[in-house]
Amino acid sequence: MRQWTWGRRWTVRAVSFLLAAFAVLGGLAIQGHQKAEAYQRYLANSRRHAFAELSTGLNELDADLQKGIYATSPAMLTSLCTQIFGKAMSAQMALGELPYGSIELEQTAAFLAKTGDYAAALSRSAAVNGGCTEEEREGLRGLSAAASALSAQVAALQSDLWAGAATLEDVEAAEARLSAAEGGGQEVAGSVYQTIESDFPELPSLIYDGPFSEHIAGRTARVLEGRPIVTQDEARLAAAKFLDLKPDIFTLVSAGEGKLPTYGFSAAVDGGELYVEVTQAGGLVMQVISSRAAGTPVLSREKAVAKAIEFLEKRGYPAMRESYFIDQGGILTINFAAVQDEVICYPDLVKVSIALDTGRVVGFESEGYLMNHTLRSFPVLSVSGEEARGVVSPALTVLSQQLSLIPTGGEYEVLCHEFKCRSEEGQHILVYVNAQTGQEEKILILLEDESGTLVI
């Protein structure tokens, strides 16, 4: 009897424990499900908020562009251009918060970048020239028309979202759809963004001093002008000679037709994959990339810089001066610029990367040099170095100065007095004073640590 009673009690307790465990697990599952639902609601609300910010930003951008058309004073135009730039950046930030927004709304992202850059350039032009030209005003008018159409499309889609007639995808849904499209399988319906991109308004052709100018897109590389087109075999020989390697290890992997048409070659070197781009016009090496991971450094930075200089001199870059470098993973990348008549020409940029374990060149980039390098005639200085020094903020201590040629963002170049300064906090600052107007042209901050220098 006692044994039966004990067994019965044990059974009751076991069942009670199991029921309690199931209850706890069920409670945890419900709680987890509720948290997951709450998180999904938070993400959905965040996407709707980002889209609302995009809609608001486009509407305000449209209004400021319209105001800019009618501004006559330089002060008002500069103020409005600053607002246009800010609204374009805000809209870009909102676009970046949408899952794959910059990819699915590629034309919209490009429009915002183009409008912001044009406004910044127009602001600088208004300050110097006392206003804008009729051609520049036409550019504003064209951007305003595009912004109005785009704003109306986004506003209409926003109404559908709030009414429940349309929904914004989450990251997983967007990734699945894009992966299916890339996989070449059955056709996949696009996102709601297609209603915006499919009927995108026509953008004006902008001619200004900036990277989105129509005439910049049509520029040819100065160094390559008049050079004959080389064959694939000639390009392969050029790649091999440039890196002191045998031609037969290089395999053609691409033949691009872009702004600078090139032949692309790959080769297995030192346990890594080497990729080399050679221009079709002239057969000059434009880029070298190596996937090889560097080992323990044995070469000092000074010796690596010396090797890079020697490398450039032997390959037809005799008058180059190193400026800044950065050490990443045992690979030292040095920036070089051409020097003419003691003027350092920053548009003529070349980058060389040296592996600190072997001393070999594992990276090279010369697109800036190929696009811009030429024999220049510098203007006579209207502003002396001493006069330019007086423009530098009294809060800065000038450490050195030199003449330099800097790019404006478009096709133009400005001769400047470059001052390397130290702030009261010990930070290094570069100040560029226009050698013709005596106005501050650009200010850069040097971020320096043990790995090298970053210029912002």
Listed by start position, the domains of the chain span 30-217, 232-372, 385-455
pTM for the model: 0.68
Under the banding of pLDDT at 50, 70 and 90, the label for residue 186 is: very low
At residue 195, the pLDDT reads: 67
In terms of pLDDT, which residue wins out, 2 or 127? 127
At residue 9, the pLDDT reads: 59
Look at residues 284, 292, 356 and name the one whose alpha carbon lies nearest to residue 325.
Answer: 356
The token pair at 453 is: 């220098």
CB 375 within 8 A of CB 340: yes
In terms of pLDDT, which residue wins out, 242 or 108? 242
CB 213 within 8 A of CB 410: yes
How far from the centroid of its chain's Cα atoms is residue 259's Cα? 18
Average of per-residue pLDDT across 276-296: 94
Q: How far apart are the first and last CA of the chain?
A: 88
In angstroms, the CA 336 to CA 325 distance is 9
In terms of pLDDT, which residue wins out, 432 or 51? 432
Work out the number of other CB atoms within 10 angstroms of the CB of residue 364.
24
DSSP string over 83-96: HHHHHHHHHHHHHH
Work out the number of other CB atoms within 10 angstroms of the CB of residue 36.
10
At residue 447, the pLDDT reads: 87
Residue 376 pLDDT > 60, yes or no? yes
Under the banding of pLDDT at 50, 70 and 90, the label for residue 363 is: very high
The token pair at 16 is: 């009670």
DSSP 318: -
At residue 242, the pLDDT reads: 97
Strands 343-355 and 397-407: parallel
- Lowest mean pLDDT: which of 57-66, 193-202, 271-280, 300-309? 193-202
Residue 24 pLDDT > 80, yes or no? no
CB 414 within 8 A of CB 406: yes
Q: What percent of the chain has pLDDT over 70?
A: 78
The second-level CATH assignment, the architecture, of 385-455 is Roll (3.10)
Task: Name residues whose C-beta falls within 8 Å of residue 415's C-beta, 6 or more positions apart in sequence.
Answer: 343, 378, 379, 381, 403, 404, 405, 434, 435, 436
Under the banding of pLDDT at 50, 70 and 90, the label for residue 182 is: very low
Buried b (16+ CB within 10 A) or exposed e, 205-238: ebebbbebbeebeeeebebbeeeeebeeeebbbb
